[in-house]
Homo-oligomer: A and B are copies of this chain.
Amino acid sequence: MVGFKLRNLGLPLRTTMPLVATIPEPNANVEVREVPFPDLELNSALLEVELSEVCGTDVHLQRGLLQGVPYPLVPGHVSIGRLSAIRGLMVDVNGRPFKEGDLVTYLDVHRTCNACWYCLVAKASTRCPYRKVYGITYGLADGLCGGWATHVYLKPGTHCIGVDARPKTFMAGGCALPTALHAVERGEIRLGDTVLILGSGPVGINTILLARMSGALRVLCIGAPEARLEAARQAGAYATLNIETNDEQARMDWVMQHTSGRGADVTIEVAGVAEAVVQAMQFTRDAGRVVVVGQYTDHGAIEFNPHSDLNKKHLEVRGCWGSDYSHFYRGVQIVSEPATATVWEAMDLTSFGLAEANEALAKVASGEVLKALIDPKR
């Protein structure tokens, strides 16, 4: 690899170097550091970050709960910004070249190999063992690879997408948008279905929005706290139930009352609690579908009854791991369309500067804020 100096691009002289907020090691506080500008490889670019986000995965990263993470790490896997420098050619899926100044986001998954059995035979690229993820499995040693920074280095092969929406509108979806879109796609909702969402965090809210757009006549949501349930209703939930003040029997009764005594047609678990998976099975009608997308990390084991919870119900239970370019692309199109963007524009967001990243993590962990963003220009 022969590097390419940014100054060769005739960029205005910068008096300051890029800043990143980095997790030095598991359970350590986030620190802001200065790092040098990268040399650009052929067909790569530099992104000036407008906004990045703080999601549940970042909390897990700070706590050292994910495997295969190279510390020190700059978190922020989904971000939006402007291309401040391009070397060579960066094109979109339609073959149109990007130009400097364009507002873009990029798929956080950088490399799926398109050569292994999972990519080529199973066509399950989210299980490709060679995938690399900006802000998660690319660490600081790999370069400017996280969105909690003034700049991100977009390596050759990065899939950029132009965004027509305002940065805040796109970030209201953030990483939750493709995750929710994949889950909803896997739920195979049919026109007129009643869909139950277990969980009311950012993925839950996006799932409600997208389930509504996918034909669900009524979307029910069980979650907490009350502020998030209010967000769920604003996102289009027909009815919500507070899990903290309703025990399992009360939840079951509530679901049955809203579903002619049968259970939901499709239930999507985004709760991040092992019990929720079994309740999802029990709250779903016979011959219905359950999508499990809230177990990205190990929330422990749980008991279920294969006879009554699965076989007799003729139920389908589908794990849903990660998302691929198609989910990300479709999500960006949806938030870029004025007619549909409004629902994301209304979402409640809280912005933090790079130096406030620890506070942002704490508030996301506690559920105090629905959605936290990192604004490196603050």
A residues contacting B by CB (< 8 A) are 91, 93-95, 112, 114-118, 120-124, 126-127, 157, 159, 181, 184-185, 190-192, 210, 213-215, 217-218, 238, 260-262, 274, 277, 285-288, 292-308, 310-322, 324-326, 329-331, 333-334, 337, 339-340
The reply to whether B114 and A93 contact each other, CB–CB distance below 8 Å, is no
Instruction: Let me know if A117 and B260 touch, CB within 8 A.
Output: yes
Which chain B residues lie closer than 8 Å to A303 at the CB level? Answer: 301-303
Chain B neighbourhood of A118, CB < 8 A: 286-287
Taken together as a complex, chains A and B put the C-alpha atoms of A302 and B295 apart, in Å, by 18
**Are A337 and B217 in contact (CB-based, < 8 A)?**
yes
Query: Which B residues are CB-close (under 8 A) to A114?
Result: 112, 114
Contact A311 B319, CB 8 Å, known A93-B115, A192-B334, A287-B118: yes
Residue of B nearest to A337 (CB): B217
**Is the pair B210, A127 in contact by a Cβ cutoff of 8 Å?**
no
Q: Residue on B with the closest CB to A295?
A: B311
Residues of B within 8 A of A301 (CB): 303-306
Partner of A95, one of B94, B116, B123: B116
* A300 touching B305, Cβ below 8 Å: yes
Query: Could you write out 17 A-B pairs with CB less than 8 Å apart?
Result: A93-B116, A115-B159, A120-B159, A120-B324, A127-B313, A191-B334, A192-B329, A192-B330, A192-B333, A217-B337, A295-B307, A296-B311, A298-B307, A311-B319, A313-B321, A316-B317, A316-B319
Min CB distance A168 to B, Å, is 20
CB-contact partner of A127 in B157, B286, B308, B319, under 8 A: B286
The distance from the CB of A84 to the nearest CB of chain B, in whole angstroms, is: 22
A292 lies within 8 A of B311 (CB): yes
Q: How distant is the Cα of A324 from the Cα of B319 in the complex, in angstroms?
A: 26
Min C-beta distance of A110 to chain B, whole Å: 12
Q: Report the Cα distance A292→B210, complex, angstroms.
A: 27
Given A215-B214, A298-B305, A304-B302, A325:B120 Cβ within 8 A: yes
CB proximity of A82 to chain B, nearest CB, Å:
22
* Contacting pair A191 B214 (CB below 8 A): yes
Top 4 nearest A-B pairs (CB, nearest first) are A124-B287, A192-B330, A295-B311, A314-B321
Please determine whether B120 and A94 come into contact, CB atoms closer than 8 angstroms: no
CB <8 Å contact, B329 and A287: no
Are A295 and B319 CB-contacts (below 8 A) given A191-B210, A286-B127? no
List chain B residues, Cβ under 8 A from A312. 295-296, 319, 321
User: Which B residues lie within 8 Å of A286 (CB)?
Assistant: 118, 122, 124, 127, 321
B262 contacts A117, C-beta separation under 8 Å: yes
How far is B295's CA from A2's CA once the two chains are assembled, in angstroms?
A: 48
Chain B contacts for A116, CB-based, 8 A: 93-95
Task: List B contacts of A326 (CB < 8 A).
Answer: 120-121, 123
Which B residues are in CB contact (< 8 Å) with A324?
A: 120
Question: Please, which residues of chain B bring their CB within 8 A of the CB of A293?
Answer: 311
Contacts of A117 in B (CB 8 A): 93-94, 260, 262
Could you say which of A116, A213, A313, A331 has the most chain B C-beta atoms within 10 Å of its C-beta? A213
Given A217-B337, A218-B337, A295–B306 Cβ distance below 8 Å? Answer: yes
A364 to B125, alpha carbons, bound, how many Å? Answer: 40
Shortest A270–chain B CB gap in Å is 11
A319 in contact with B330 (CB, 8 Å): no
Q: Is the CB of B306 within 8 A of A292?
A: yes
Closest residue of B by beta carbon distance from A290: B317
